[in-house]
Structure 1
Amino acid sequence: MNRLTFITVVFCAIVFTGCTKLDFYPHSAASPDNVSEKDLDPLMKGMYNAVQNFPGRESYIMYDLVGGNLTTASGGNVLAFIKNIMRTDYSLVRQDWNGYFRALYQVNNVLQIMERMPDTDKKTQVAGVAHFLRAYIYYNLTTRWGDVPLLRVNTSELVSRTAQAEIWKFIEEDLLAAMTQAPGFITGLNGDYYLASREAAQALMARVKLAQGKNSEAAEYAERLITSGLFQLDRFEKIFRKQDNKEVIFAFENLTEESSITLSTLFYTYAHPVKGSYVYKPTDEVMNMYEAGDNRRAMSIDTYTNLDVINKYPSGQAGTDPVIIIRLAEMYLISAEAQGLNGLNRLNELRAARNLSALNPSSVDEYQQAVALERRRELLAEGFRWYDLVRTGKAVDALGIEPFRTKFPVPDYERLVNENLGQNDGYVF
């Protein structure tokens, strides 16, 4: 085999062997010393593939599943549905934990390989992408579990969990590195948002700052994107019908044969023209939350043969819809929330783009409720709802859950293979 094919095969072997616990062992005899700059492209593709696929398709909508936006297609009690998912032995919870750490292994592996390579512009950019992806992984881990193991490098040790404050600090460090090392977003290139850019790192930093209550910094980062001239609010039919648009900041392309992110099959029935398995449906609250004239409604929800469906992922059994991770509308909502009433103009600008009239709330509380509702409408089935409720202290009242369910349980199997992990309070082993 030629060198490029060899390194691709070796990395794919690493990617698809994986591991099932935090006791990490190498899965390849390839020496990092044998990797050169021309091997960076397949390494980067393998890294994207791992981060996109390993956590599984439900990971992208997990916060909708446990946040009152989605329920089982057969209906039933929403609270019971949430509690059933948030069990120590539930398969999707274990898949999330295991998948994110498997993806982390691949990202750390690429960073380790590059340490032995001479400095070049290409190496710097790939490192920037790796730092962005690692920050994204850790954002998903800590917002689910709080304290999680912090792995700057891969290890064979049975690791313990690190305090969440240290995890947030690490995420910010990685994003700062990505902002200086990752390639810049080049406007006008079709599909450029499939590449992790400096601007994507800024946008994720805005999300991270808001999660920590660092509101002034969150607004500052969000405003950078809003005023950059690189992006603008676009029509929903362009964003969620795979058309070239100016709103998406970062997405997974989701086209490779190895992809397992067939979100669309979860939402459509077999009788639908695109067909699907109809696993989840929007709750009654979601079906009734859009105002008349809201141009998001038809692209977000639909009723087909008397069955309610999510309509953002229209490829059905093909399963090739892009998985949108960050877009400009979120930046408007971050800026609006972080600035308080001073951000009303950003909220109303977003509403105007969605064909809705301006609001004039009379109190801070009324304003924050309006922002929360707009986030729920705008970001439906994109993986935000549960953590939005958790970080604003509203999850217990809004969902009816016990306070301990504002964190996910550490999966039983992971604790069996690593006794150092412990368990979040309230969950019975």
Structure 2
Amino acid sequence: MNYIKKLLFVIPTLIIVSCHDDLDQTPIDPDSFTETNVFANADEAKGALAKLYASLALTGQQGPSGQPDITGIDEGTSQYSRLLFSLNELTTDHAVIGWGDPGLPNLHAMNWGAGNDFTTGMYYRLAQEVSFTNSFIENAALLNENAEVEAYIAEARFLRAFTYYNLLDLFGAVPLVTVVSTELPEQSTRAEIFSFVESELLAIQDLLKDSGANEYGRVDRVAAWALLSKLYLNAEVFTGEDRYTDAIAFSNLAINASYSINTNDANGNGSAYDELFLADNNSNGAQNEFIFALNFDGNNSRTYGGTTFLVHAAIGGSMDAFNFGVNGGWSGLRTTKALVNKFDYAVSNTDADGNPIEWEDSRALFYTDGQSLEINTIANTFTDGYAVTKFKNVDATGAAGVDEGGDFVDTDLPVIRLAEIYLNYAEAVLRGGSGGDLNTATGYINVLRARAFGSTAGNISSGDLDLDFILDERARELYWEGQRRTDLIRFNDYTTGSYLWPFKGGSKSGTAVDDFRKLFPLPSNIILINPNLTQNTGY
């Protein structure tokens, strides 16, 4: 049974509302299920655990709107992965959006302030998850019933560590809160947050269920190893100390576990890559690659964020929404030529103006009919920029998702998948980490490229593998999966003039921005509430 999809709406859980002091919030609804009810026994605690996962996938108690967990922001916009897309993709070369919502154009222009709705919304979303996990860990620890409860607690600790990884990456120095308290917390350094995430993941790796032993939609110990791989790969940015040897070690653990690269070409189109982003990706073979995913169901877990956002918002112009399994497009998301150009080596056909329209690399999932490669105007001009067809609400046979109205999407969203760990390993080797091997790294890259090409035609030799190649390959493999900003910062391309893309810094041709943009600001109202906090530089 798909645990998260099926269970979220049948077991009552704590209702906690955000926008309270920093990373500490408490239940305020007197009619909600109380801690006494929720933690009466292990079975009830399992329902509370579902809320911890749901807080990253959904937006409130009702779905898709009404009774939101977070107030002060549009509920659909407040969903975790939609906010992650806004902060980690819309601020890069991967995506633009034509809407004029307050704060949204500032993400493209990289001139956001401390009151930006999207940065503030993400901080509160993550703060809420910390609050949920802290409450769960404290209350479940009182049960002491069996090993299953210990595994639940380990999962909650993973989700808390994952949340702090996000806070570390996006905001830097934040309060480190691990218990339910009414005290205003002190601010921890970025190095202290890093150490906490590291120590938690190391501590729980043997407490989580073995590789592949948990229910789909819940994490096992491989998720801890994979997140450590990500943490160590970015350690030099986070702490000033490189940990590439550790990145290799934990990448190896994850790679050698039970997960596998999906090569099941379920729809028979010559490539298995697109199956990763279809409505049946929980069963078509793609699930074997998903180490950590957010699960969605068009009837039972509805949200205007998640993959519902990624599918609907990417449809416009002459695109037929029927082919995507939904009832219409929101005419918002497109990409820039900077991403399209990453596939120049694989162009197989061009239009009359010489612009690419077909590629041998099946990861180039672009819609070009009626779309211009160049973006002259972002706002309200969907045909400026190629559209992206990566996410769909159809299964491998072409059948639409379960929501008969076509509003909400079934497609699960991979947060960490094995392909990323292959790329982590290769990059850590190239950056000088010990314990890795260049030929092995090349082999991992060729596994991904063989899937993309449906043959060995795109394979490379070890002499072709360098850091520039890795950065481009990460773009080709992982675009629109919430990774790009973090990657560009690690390669020192995010704020500098060394790499420009359309509308970077608000300029059509792109321009450098101040280095402090590598971190987002703490919300301005949080700074007013808690005198223990210091705002990030530049804000």
TM-score range, shorter chain: 0.7 to 0.9
Distance apart, 1:387 and its partner CA = 0.9
Question: 2: CA distance between counterparts of 1:304 and 1:320?
Answer: 27
Residue 367 of structure 2 is matched in structure 1 by 302
Question: 1: CA distance between counterparts of 2:489 and 2:88?
Answer: 10
Instruction: Out of 176-185 and 28-37, give the one that drifted further.
Output: 28-37
Distance apart, 1:23 and its partner CA = 6.7
Please tell me the residue identity of whatever aligns with 2:420: E
Matched, 1:218 2:247: yes
Please tell me the residue identity of whatever aligns with 1:224: L
Residue 228 of structure 2 is matched in structure 1 by 205
Distance apart, 1:83 and its partner CA = 3.5
1:69 is aligned, of 73, 83, 94, to: 94
Instruction: Out of 110-119 and 353-362, give the one that drifted further.
Output: 353-362
Distance apart, 1:281 and its partner CA = 1.3
Question: Conserved in 1, the CA contact under 8 Å of 2:229 and 2:248?
Answer: yes
SS at match of 1:249: strand
Question: Conserved in 1, the CA contact under 8 Å of 2:98 and 2:332?
Answer: yes
- Structure 2 unaligned blocks of 5 or more: 1-6, 60-77, 236-241, 264-271, 347-359, 372-382, 394-405, 431-436, 501-511
Residue 313 of structure 1 is matched in structure 2 by 391
Distance apart, 1:414 and its partner CA = 1.8
1:369 is aligned, of 444, 464, 468, to: 468
Please tell me the residue identity of whatever aligns with 1:18: S
Instruction: Out of 171-180 and 256-265, give the one that drifted further.
Output: 256-265
Matched, 1:287 2:287: no
- The correspondence of residues 359-398 of structure 1 with structure 2, limited to 5 A, is 359-360=460-461, 367-397=466-496, 398=499
Matched, 1:48 2:95: no
Distance apart, 1:95 and its partner CA = 0.5
- The correspondence of residues 247-258 of structure 1 with structure 2, limited to 5 A, is 247-255=289-297, 256-257=300-301
Q: Which runs of 4+ in 1 moved over 6 A?
A: none
SS at match of 2:415: strand
2:210 is aligned, of 184, 191, 194, to: 184
Residue 184 of structure 2 is matched in structure 1 by 158
Question: Conserved in 2, the CA contact under 8 Å of 1:185 and 1:193?
Answer: no
Residue 37 of structure 1 is matched in structure 2 by 42
Distance apart, 1:304 and its partner CA = 5.1
Residue 144 of structure 2 is matched in structure 1 by 118
Instruction: Out of 207-216 and 284-293, give the one that drifted further.
Output: 284-293
Distance apart, 1:8 and its partner CA = 4.1
Cα RMSD after superposing both structures: 2.9
Question: Conserved in 1, the CA contact under 8 Å of 2:422 and 2:445?
Answer: yes
SS at match of 2:176: coil
Residue 334 of structure 1 is matched in structure 2 by 424
Deviations 1:40-96 (A, max 9, x none): 221111111113335524223121111221112379xx9965335632121111100
Question: 2: CA distance between counterparts of 1:351 and 1:146?
Answer: 34
Deviations 1:124-163 (A, max 9, x none): 1101110111111111111011111111112222223211
Question: Conserved in 2, the CA contact under 8 Å of 1:79 and 1:401?
Answer: no
Question: 2: CA distance between counterparts of 1:229 and 1:99?
Answer: 32
The structure in which a higher percent of residues are helix is 1
Instruction: Out of 241-250 and 123-132, give the one that drifted further.
Output: 241-250
Instruction: Out of 416-425 and 32-41, give the one that drifted further.
Output: 32-41
Question: Conserved in 2, the CA contact under 8 Å of 1:252 and 1:324?
Answer: yes
CA spacing shift, 1:418–1:402, aligned 2, 3 Å: same
Question: 1: CA distance between counterparts of 2:36 and 2:490?
Answer: 41
Question: 2: CA distance between counterparts of 1:19 and 1:35?
Answer: 28
- The correspondence of residues 206-285 of structure 1 with structure 2, limited to 5 A, is 206-212=229-235, 213-234=242-263, 235-241=272-278, 242-243=280-281, 244-245=284-285, 246-255=288-297, 256-257=300-301, 259=303, 260-261=305-306, 262-263=308-309, 264-269=311-316, 272-273=320-321, 274=326, 275-285=328-338
SS at match of 1:250: strand
Question: Conserved in 1, the CA contact under 8 Å of 2:211 and 2:258?
Answer: no
TM-score, normalised by the number of residues in structure 2: 0.70
Matched, 1:59 2:103: no
- Structure 1 unaligned blocks of 5 or more: none
Question: 1: CA distance between counterparts of 2:231 and 2:105?
Answer: 28
Question: Conserved in 2, the CA contact under 8 Å of 1:71 and 1:81?
Answer: no
Distance apart, 1:254 and its partner CA = 1.8
Matched, 1:410 2:447: no
Please tell me the residue identity of whatever aligns with 1:50: S
Please tell me the residue identity of whatever aligns with 2:361: D
Residue 22 of structure 2 is matched in structure 1 by 22
Question: 1: CA distance between counterparts of 2:369 and 2:149?
Answer: 49
Question: 2: CA distance between counterparts of 1:18 and 1:80?
Answer: 24
Identity of aligned residues (%): 23
Report the count of equivalent residues: 412
Distance apart, 1:123 and its partner CA = 0.5
Question: Conserved in 1, the CA contact under 8 Å of 2:23 and 2:175?
Answer: no
Question: 2: CA distance between counterparts of 1:171 and 1:81?
Answer: 28
Question: 2: CA distance between counterparts of 1:310 and 1:219?
Answer: 32
Please tell me the residue identity of whatever aligns with 1:369: D
Instruction: Out of 129-138 and 393-402, give the one that drifted further.
Output: 393-402
Question: Conserved in 2, the CA contact under 8 Å of 1:268 and 1:277?
Answer: yes
- The correspondence of residues 93-132 of structure 1 with structure 2, limited to 5 A, is 93-132=119-158
Instruction: Out of 331-340 and 406-415, give the one that drifted further.
Output: 406-415
Question: 2: CA distance between counterparts of 1:376 and 1:52?
Answer: 24
Please tell me the residue identity of whatever aligns with 1:46: K
SS at match of 1:325: strand
Question: Conserved in 2, the CA contact under 8 Å of 1:23 and 1:155?
Answer: no
Distance apart, 1:237 and its partner CA = 2.2
Deviations 1:232-270 (A, max 9, x none): 243212211133222222211122435342322221128
SS at match of 1:146: coil
